[in-house]
Amino acid sequence: MAHSGEGPCVFCRIASGEAEAYIVYEDGAFLAFLDKWPVNPGHTLVIPKKHYPTIFEMPPPEVGELFERVALIAPAVRRATGADGLNIIQTNGRAAWQSVFHVHVHIIPRHVGDALRLNWPHRSASPSEFEDMRNRIREELASGAGGSEP
């Protein structure tokens, strides 16, 4: 499986059976397994078996299929862990905290009062800033570049 970056892709190695993982779900194109470094017990990763560094390289129909698997697996994780809720997180690029450059979705069980904090500062924006950003995004979508990375 092709990949970019340094050394063999650990998720490709898991998908091919070369590396061990606690697999909770597998079909022809996708795999879900327990995170080796769980935030909370039951922290599960869902990946495509085919290597894509980020969601920008992944064809939109396959992104949809990935999230169909997330929607199937998430309720099972919640029930199995007795979680009060879940965080479902998908990151792209170092600036977004991606550490393994193979598309993956985190399903993180959450319990009231657990120590995990996902805080980010909120900023305000003026109506003109909102309008400008809305227009810029709409222009990108209209150009057909919505599914492409710059």
Positions marked active-site: 104
9-12: long-range contacts at Cβ-Cβ below 8 A with a sequence spacing of 24 or more?
9/51, 9/100, 9/101, 9/102, 10/100, 10/102, 11/45, 11/47, 11/51, 11/100, 11/102, 11/104, 12/51, 12/102
Q: What residues have CB less than 8 Å from 17, skipping those under 6 apart?
A: none
Structure tokens at 7: 């050394």
Q: Residue 64 and residue 105: Cα distance in Å, rounded?
A: 12
CA dihedral angle for residue 70, residue 60, residue 28, residue 108, rounded to 10 degrees: -20
Residue 138, helix vs strand vs coil: helix
